[in-house]
Structure 1
Amino acid sequence: MKEVLFNTHDLALIFTMFICLSFSVFLITLKKGNKLSNCLLACFLLTQAAIPLDNLINFGEAFRPFALNLSPNLFYTFGLAFWLEVPLLLLYIKSLVNKNYQLQKLDTLLFIPFVFYATYFTVDWLMAENSIKLAALKQNNIETTPLIDRSIYFFRECFRFSISVLCFLELQKYQNNIKNEFAELESVDLTWLKVLVIGFLAVHLNAIFVSLGIIMSYDIGIIVDHELLGLTSNYAVLLLITSLIFFSAGHSKIFQGIDDTLISEQDKSIEVFEPEKIQKIETYLLQNKPYLNHLLTLDNLASQLSMGSRNLSSIINRHFGKNFFEFINYYRVEESKRLLLLEENKTVTMLDIMDKAGFNSKATFNTFFKKLVGITPTQFRKEYWENKNASSPH
């Protein structure tokens, strides 16, 4: 019982497998939330479980002999997950940030490299005689790997890195356009997911260096410690997957998505809108002050006005020349100015003024106020009361 079955590196891979499998089962059986997002995340996590299993079978001292006795087909088969991993991550992100997102025919293009490699792998390995496979596995080592396999490995890592870049760009696109639908951005903070995507970008870039290191070490003669780079990736993936599960479980509800039609409409030529609709919007905002709601969204306001979200977005963008974020916070600044000029608010804290005006972020309050008024809220109140006291009769 004192025999050590696994080393530390194997345990990192086993932990990754266990976490991914456990959470993927949870997501598949979960009845709440976005079903498509949950399914895509579950599939992504299954690939993250298959990849360490592939490493354990091919390189684990304890797993390799067992797999060799069980079936030679176990070798390399789970490596197919490398081709599925990042496309699934990209689709998961798209399903989060795009409202009512549905899989499209163009999305299948992401899986073309997988189809080609799976076909090659089936013919080259799975359909080969067991005797040939066993002979290759018994004397298998990185040094004897054919150059074509190393080239495919390098292409695979470049492909994964490229799709990771698309994941990052998708988040950037969301962040750039989110102000068209939300008046406060605290509840739609993407920092955690962006950090994770950058983490996977780094892991996939490191994988390119590993593949280059193998080629340089065994085909060019320049020795590179590719094993250390590979081990570093294993631990990094464990950290990233753990973080992904923790933050997606805690923050996934914030992703309400953006309506792509609202974004595309901004590029159209200037339209002339009915004066009655513009008057209706202005009157409603002045009389009912919906902007005092910290969590006001475009959909909320459109519902209150009995208008379509697309129509309201068009009017705000092209008639008022602002995005929704700027439009609502303009009214909040005007409300905060009114509050600051009231006698009873002379000693009220700025946080209370901010809250009463509908702002949910001190940074947004100060930034918008100074941008529109030219001075900070504190300076505005101070100058007003100093001037008023100076002009009043003694």
Structure 2
Amino acid sequence: MYEVIFNTHDVVLLMTAYQCILFALLLLTIKREHYIRNVFLAFFLLQQAAIPLDILISFGAEFRHIAIEWSPNLFYVFGFGYWLEGPLLLWYTRSLIYKDYHLKLTDLVYLLPFILYVGYQLLFYYSLDVSDKKTIQEQYDLALAPQVMNYVTLFREIFRVVLGVICLIEIKRYTQHIRTNFSDIDKIDLTWLKILVIGFLVIRFWAVLVAAMIILSIGFGISTDFETMGLLGNYTTFLLVSVLIFFGLGHSSVFEGLEQKQTSEPEPIKDEQEPELQKDKIKPELIDQVSRYMETEKPYLTPALTLEKLAGQLRIQPRLLSNIINRHFDCNFFEFINSYRVEEAKRMLADSHYADKTMLDIMLDVGFNSKATFNTLFKKKAGMTPSEYRKTVQPVTT
């Protein structure tokens, strides 16, 4: 008769690991652009593959016994994945949102829990004889294990949640940054990163709940169904990994990254204007300089206009220009530039000389690259869509 080694729950764990390994190899061997961020993502996926393998070896209904017979050294060897998930996800996030990102010495502080884990296992488990390890695994019972280990597990899950929250903070800061420095943000797609971070953050919150339930059940005698909760977490992880891989394979922008190509602009002259950043008042002549330049030179007609480029054209510091826009015009750079674009569009729509131009032509002429953004901002400022506005300002031809 055939012996059943893997049940349905085990198969889900194996499929999760298989998908992660396959996608990681794809990133490392096929895609060469933005290689450093692909390396971070690949190692994150390999770490994700290690976690279900650790669960399978430690808690698999039948496979645990087979693993003991094969080699007790299999236990805990994949446990490193738990401690590397947070740092790798954070580094991958930063490699996407920061230009030329590379690890610094301070980043290695996130590896301290991992180093402690490896040191502990080497000292208190792998230094033992094979027979002793086998005995430990054969006699293992979660209810009889040292309670301190359950608290270590809780700390581990909280650690992963904390680094996930840091990832969200980084994404929020970057979102604010692009609205402050870019006038065209439609090509900057954060969808992949948000799904990745939020998805795993939700799962890690779930893992914290499971760890807390284990402590309540074993340490305080409060009945909880932590086993079912843990299984649901495994299935959810499998679904999340499947969605991420499907999304990644179907959207090339996932691999193109978020870096914006920069064109050369005149270097802003450093002068005595910079101290104005610390003052409540901004020199009126600077405000006039910005307003006059926007009206006469119309730099907003350039779709890829950035704060740095406009500051270079004005020959003032980018931080000073941002300060002027935020304080005097009471908006961010994205809103500032696109308000001029909307006004230019309104002028063209009201001018009979442009009556033969399509809405798409006008949209592109005034600097917009996205019809959705054009319609949304136009309606927000004019109270109606561009088509409705054209009908109200141009006489009906008979």
TM-score by length of 1: 0.83
Is the aligned partner of 1:96 residue 2:96?
Answer: yes
Deviation at 1:370, TM superposition (A): 4.8
Question: What is the CA deviation profile of residues 272-324 of structure 1, one whole-angstrom value per residue up to 9, with x for unaligned ones?
Answer: 89x8999699658845x554454444566678x597xxx56335313344543
Q: CA deviation at 1:56?
A: 1.3
Q: Percent identity?
A: 42
Residue 338, structure 1, aligned to residue 353, structure 2: no
Contact map agreement 1:366 1:376 (CA 8 A) in 2: yes
Q: 1:123 to 1:94 in 2, by over 3 A?
A: same
- For 1:255, give the aligned amino acid: L
Partner residue, 2:323: 318
Deviation, structure 1 residue 10: 1.4
* Equivalent position SS for 1:78: coil
Aligned equivalents of 1:376, 1:278: Cα separation in 2: 31
Give the direction of change, closer, same or farther, for the CA distance of 1:141–1:81 in structure 2 (3 Å limit). Answer: same
Cα distance, 1:353 vs structure 2: 3.3
Pairing of 1:184-195 with structure 2 (within 5 A): 184-195=184-195
Match of 1:354 in 2: 363
Structure 1 partner of 2:267: none
Look up the SS of the partner of 2:33 in the other structure. Answer: coil
In the aligned structure 2, how far is the partner of 1:319 from the partner of 1:173?
Answer: 20
Measured in 2, the distance between the counterparts of 1:266 and 1:202 equals: 45
Q: Deviations over 1:144-183 (max 9, x none)?
A: 2210111111111111111111111111111122113322
Query: 2:377 is matched with which residue?
Result: 368
Q: 1:381 maps to which residue?
A: 390
Bigger shift: residues 292-301 or 62-71: 292-301
Counterpart mapping for 1:296-311 below 5 A:
296-298=305-307, 305=313
Relative distance call for 1:102 and 1:306 in structure 2 (3 A) is farther
**One-letter code aligned to 1:162:** V
2-structure distance, mates of 1:2, 1:138: 24
Residues 102-141 of structure 1 mapped to structure 2, 5 A cutoff: 102-141=102-141
SS at 1:189's partner residue? coil
Alpha-carbon distance in structure 1 between the residues aligned to 2:156 and 2:75:
18
Q: Quote the residue 1:21 is aligned against.
A: 21
1:240-265 alpha-carbon deviations (Å, 9 max, x no partner): 22333343452222411699xxxxx9
Q: For residue 255 of structure 1, what is the aligned residue in structure 2?
A: 258
Pairwise CA distance, 1:337: 1.6
2:211 equivalent in structure 1: 211
CA 1:31–1:192 in structure 2 vs 1: closer, same or farther (change >3 Å)? Answer: closer
Q: Which residue number in structure 2 is paired with residue 166 of structure 1?
A: 166
Q: Distance in 2 between the 1:145 and 1:151 partners?
A: 12
Q: Whole-Å Cα distance in 2 between the matches of residues 176 and 120 of structure 1?
A: 42
The alpha-carbon deviation at position 189 of structure 1 amounts to 2.8
Structure 1 residue runs of 5 or longer lacking an equivalent are 260-264, 390-394
Please name the residue that 2:199 is paired with. 199
Aligned residues: 378
**CA distance in 1 between partners of 2:392 and 2:147 (Å):** 75
| Structure-2 separation of matches of 1:169 and 1:353 | 37
Shift of 1:37: 0.9
Matched, 1:156 2:156: yes
Counterpart-to-counterpart distance in 2, 1:281 and 1:103? 42
